[in-house]
Amino acid sequence: MKTVGIITTYRQANWGSVLQAYALQQVIDNMGFQSQIIDYAYPNEFHYIRGCKRSRSWLRNLPGDTVDRMLILLKQRPPRKMELLNRFIIQHMRCTRRFVSYEDLHLDPPLYDIYVAGSDQIWNPNTMLGDMSYMLDFAPEEALRISYSSSFASLTIPEQLQSDYRENLSKFAHISVREKNGVPVIKELLGREATVVLDPTLLLDRSQWSAIARKATPVSLPDKYILCYMLGYTYNPDKSMSQILHQLQKQYQMPVIAMNQLPSSFHGEEYRLPKSYGKGIEEFLMLMNNASVVASSSFHGTAFALNLGRPVIALADGSSKADDRISSLMSGVGLLDHIVYSNTSLPQELHPEYDVEQELRSLASLRSASLDYLNRALKN
């Protein structure tokens, strides 16, 4: 059985980051390979010295904090999100030892028959800051290199990085990207065509994700609710998301549940989950699966709403054309009119419903093509 090493950013306090890595490993294993996730720490000192901001989040994950543990036991606070995500990773994913630095990975790289780069924004020059690890510069020269659903989240590569990008990407036998904007970037760098494929989370179908959702910790929920999943890395979605929620609440007369946070300017009816209720992978999927309507500025929030057949309004940054993750996905399933852009006025009425069976058929067709690409690439 051939071995496969997968490099991606996945130990982030973000459900989608973990789930895309989990899904890709599941699919590769189901194709008859033995895979591992390469546990390369991001960010690390390589990124910090090049301008990546240090986070204080590490303070919250120090072991042995007696007061912290007592608060969890007394149900005064839920376990930290990253604690729950790490628990899922340990139970359901096969990973290498932790490579804590660029030097650690390159001095003692893990060896496989095949290396896969992807998915997520592993080729984003603004966040990876020239780290060619995500282009497999540590892999043996003779190794088969594949990218699956890798993302630049940028229309161009800075001039000072183009030579490194070109040198390392030219070694890939197969290149696929997650968004349409990635195709011309590859064309300009290499003169090659890249294939647009689905995010790995969409390679698993509704029944597979629903099976995991059924393992969620039970909690009392309203019969119907609007689920808000708001993220904004490059722009502030607060005002637009607040307007969307107020409009949806006016139309549907349902409370709003926050997956992570609500807009500061939202003053409608909120259904609050118990303070002690932690939202790990299973809870994320359960809340998505049971939602009557999903309002999301997160790519993976939108992706899971579509995969689970939930009515959805997706909020996208209207001020930038570089990040077309959401529009690429919605275009593929014929639901571009479900996107609200942050720089445009909200329509008088929102229409999150769609023909679920038609959407799932479209998604199934894209899934089949993406699986076929990955299968052919792995078997070369």
**The pLDDT value given to residue 72:** 46
CB 335 within 8 A of CB 307: no
**The pLDDT value given to residue 174:** 98
Residue 67's pLDDT band (cuts 50, 70, 90):
very low
Q: Would the pLDDT of 242 be above 90?
A: yes
Q: Would the pLDDT of 103 be above 60?
A: yes
Q: Would the pLDDT of 373 be above 90?
A: yes
The tokens for 102 are 């660029």
CB 106 within 8 A of CB 44: no
The whole-number average pLDDT for the span 329-348 is: 95
Q: Would the pLDDT of 71 be above 80?
A: no
Residue 10 CA, chain-centre distance (Å), reads: 8
Among 46-60, 160-174, 267-281, which is the least confidently predicted range?
A: 46-60
pLDDT per residue as tens digits for the range 340-358? 999 999 999 999 999 999 9
The neighbouring-strand residues paired with 313 are: 295
Q: Would the pLDDT of 62 be above 60?
A: no
Gap between the Cα atoms of 160 and 163, Å rounded: 7
The whole-number average pLDDT for the span 97-119 is: 97
Q: Would the pLDDT of 321 be above 90?
A: no
Gap between the Cα atoms of 184 and 308, Å rounded: 31
**The pLDDT value given to residue 43:** 96
Count the helix, strand and coil residues of the chain and give each as a percent rounded to the nearest 5.
40, 10, 45
The whole-number average pLDDT for the span 111-121 is: 96
The tokens for 13 are 């306090």
Q: Would the pLDDT of 66 be above 60?
A: no
Q: Would the pLDDT of 331 be above 70?
A: yes
pLDDT per residue as tens digits for the range 130-186? 999 999 999 999 999 999 999 999 999 999 999 999 999 999 999 999 999 999 999
Please state, in angstroms and as integers, the Cα–Cα distance from residue 214 to each residue in 89, 90, 184, following that order: 18, 19, 41
Q: Would the pLDDT of 238 be above 90?
A: yes
**The pLDDT value given to residue 113:** 97
**The pLDDT value given to residue 75:** 47
Among 23-27, 70-74, 312-316, which is the least confidently predicted range?
A: 70-74
CB 282 within 8 A of CB 213: yes
SS3 state of residue 132: helix
- The rounded percent of the chain whose pLDDT value lies above 90 is 89
- Hey, how many other C-beta atoms are within 10 angstroms of the C-beta on 39? 18
**The pLDDT value given to residue 77:** 58
Q: Would the pLDDT of 61 be above 50?
A: no
CB 353 within 8 A of CB 311: yes
CB burial of residue 56 (10 Å; 0-12, 13-18, 19+): exposed
Taking the alpha carbons at both ends of the chain, their separation in whole angstroms is 15
Q: State the average pLDDT for the chain.
A: 93
- The rounded percent of the chain whose pLDDT value lies above 70 is 94
